[in-house]
Amino acid sequence: MKNIVFLLAVMILAGPALPADTGARDGDIRQQKIFEQIFLHHEYVWERKFQAAQACLEEALRIQPDNPVTLFTISQLLREERGREDAAKLYFKKALDNLNVATPGERLYLDMTLLRKHNNLSRTELKEKIDAFLDTYPENGLVFYSAGAFFQKELGEFEKAIRFYKKSLDILPWLTQAHNLLGYAYSYLGDQTNAIRHLESYAAAFPARANPHDSLGEIYHMTGQYQLAIEQYDTALAIAPDFTIVHQHLIRSCTAVGQYARAKEHALLLLEKSESDHYKGLALFEYARICMFSGDYEKAEHKIRLAMEMNPDYFGYHDLLGQIQLQSGQMEQVQQTLHSMKRLIEEQAQKYPNKFPSEYFYQAYELLQAKINVALGNFDTALFTLQQINDRNTNPLEGLSERADLARVYFAIGEFSRALAVTRSILKYNPNHVETLVLQAKIYTTLSRQKEAEAALDRCAALLQDADPGIPISKEIDRLRQITVALK
């Protein structure tokens, strides 16, 4: 409303509409230049080129010294990546003092990103605010972008998110991050053609940057195109060798196709390059996961405990420790780890009552508890929990392992048709999900459906053709192959 009153005043005082239109155009151009620098800063941050990232934000401040989005962003950069707490506080205070300068779209963008923790907004409160902004500012591109990000990341309503992103790009075609997130939203709906098309548009905006290749790699990984994913990650690392998240993603893709030795090399490289306990812990976490998959439980537990020494309250470390203990048969110890996870969830919920991560933590806790019940033969209890987790999951591409656990329980209790239905639902989104293909082959051999079992095993063999020799999953495939031969 304030903007409308201001424009009317300009029109009355100036007479012709041209000055107001020119001012609006100048404001649009200024906002575009500022956000282009902010988005480029993100690219440099992801590549861990913090001096270049800061230079982008300083250029944005030269364009508009009191822009609160830039001020908050540089405050975050100085605090989290450059260790300059005093300077960060000054920029943060200046940003708060200039919130009234923000356009409606910038204000909502801030609430979705940099101010969310500061304001301690609940998901319900944030949704109400977004709905109000959409009604009040129906032609504001940043409002639609923020709405898309909320419905995608928090509610898993991908079709609605896509609609908002497309609207934001209609209004602000330079909004490159909308292309990036739009690509992910399409992929979650199984529309890989549109996903890749928008990620290529994102890559075209940053031809010399690594993150577009990482984003494309993630889409390929999620849909089981692991070799294409690895190629994209290799390209990203050729551009930015210190890009931490790309190393992590490459580790996951190599692990998915049984290339554990190469995955370990990148975990060790990540450890060597890490400058803080946080990143060292993440490198140890990845190394421990690889050891767990390869069946080296003693080394896996050793590595994850080293990570826990650096950050005793990092929830993911406790979760992985529990999985390692469970797979190695340490039933008493895994119960103790489960208790520690519950304590951390309670502390998180009490400290941040409106924060969302505790919900995801609780799901990991439930999942480990269900797996323990499976190991103890409490299939009814495990089945109830896994069905609840599956019903809550809104992202079909990120809940595949959980659904595979559900299928295993159906298989264990002899409900083979339901087990097969779940495996097919997984393979619909990722036809190369190896653990699901192995499970499907196991079900088919139990049902003496030899041809279908062989087809699943052949697919596994093709996926694991470059795998390290003698890994546990290859041994399981060989065992099932012998059973299918006996069925002939």
Packing angle between helix 176-188 and helix 158-171, nearest 10 degrees?
160
Query: Per-residue pLDDT tens for 328-365?
Result: 999 999 999 999 999 998 888 787 666 555 567 888 99
Cα(56)–Cα(13) distance, integer angstroms: 37
Asked if pLDDT for residue 2 goes beyond 60, the answer is: no
Angstrom CA distances, 391 to 12, 186, 385, 388, stand at 58, 21, 10, 5
Asked if pLDDT for residue 387 goes beyond 90, the answer is: yes
Residue 39 within a domain: no
Q: For residue 283, what are the contacts with CB-CB under 8 A and spacing of at least 6? A: 267, 268, 270, 271, 274
Residues shown for the chain: 488
Angstrom CA distances, 375 to 69, 250, 329, 331, 432, stand at 51, 31, 9, 9, 27
Q: Which among 138, 137, 136, 148 has a CA at the least distance from the CA of 175?
A: 148
Which pLDDT score is estimated for 393?
Answer: 79
When pLDDT is averaged across residues 111-138 and rounded to a whole number, the result is 81
Contact 315, 364 (CB under 8 A): yes
For residue 434, the domain's CATH number is: 1.25.40.10
Q: Name the token pair of 259.
A: 């290339």
DSSP codes joined into one string, 40-82: HHHHHHHTT-HHHHHHHHHHHHHH-TT-HHHHHHHHHHHHHTS
Cα(181)–Cα(215) distance, integer angstroms: 9
Phi, psi of 390 (to 5 degrees): -65, -40
pTM listed for this prediction = 0.82
Phi, psi of 336 (to 5 degrees): -65, -40
Packing angle between helix 104-112 and helix 68-80, nearest 10 degrees?
20
Write the burial class of residue 261 (CB in 10 Å: 0-12 exposed, 13-18 middle, 19+ buried): middle
Cα(221)–Cα(425) distance, integer angstroms: 17
Asked if pLDDT for residue 325 goes beyond 50, the answer is: yes
16 — pLDDT class (breaks 50, 70, 90): very low
165 — pLDDT class (breaks 50, 70, 90): very high
Which pLDDT score is estimated for 17?
Answer: 43
Cα(273)–Cα(432) distance, integer angstroms: 32
Residue 146 within a domain: no
Q: Domain span at residue 474? A: 377-488
Cα Rg for the chain, rounded, in angstroms?
Answer: 25
Residue 412 within a domain: yes
Contact 218, 229 (CB under 8 A): yes
Cα(77)–Cα(87) distance, integer angstroms: 10
Contact 381, 409 (CB under 8 A): no
Angstrom CA distances, 130 to 69, 145, 180, 181, 394, stand at 18, 11, 21, 18, 20
Residue 257 within a domain: no
Cα(273)–Cα(265) distance, integer angstroms: 12
Q: Which of 132-136, 282-286, 298-302, 355-359 has the lowest mean pLDDT?
A: 355-359
HSE-up of residue 260 (Cα within 13 Å, Cβ side): 18
Residue 385 within a domain: yes
Residue 97 within a domain: no
Residue 473 within a domain: yes
Count up the domains in the chain and report the number: 1
Q: Name the token pair of 193.
A: 């053609």
Cα(26)–Cα(337) distance, integer angstroms: 58
Task: List helix spans (H) across 64-191.
Answer: 68-80, 85-97, 104-112, 116-119, 123-136, 141-153, 158-171, 176-188
Asked if pLDDT for residue 179 goes beyond 80, the answer is: yes
Residue 393 within a domain: yes
Which pLDDT score is estimated for 306?
Answer: 97
Q: Name the token pair of 248.
A: 């992590």
Write the burial class of residue 167 (CB in 10 Å: 0-12 exposed, 13-18 middle, 19+ buried): buried
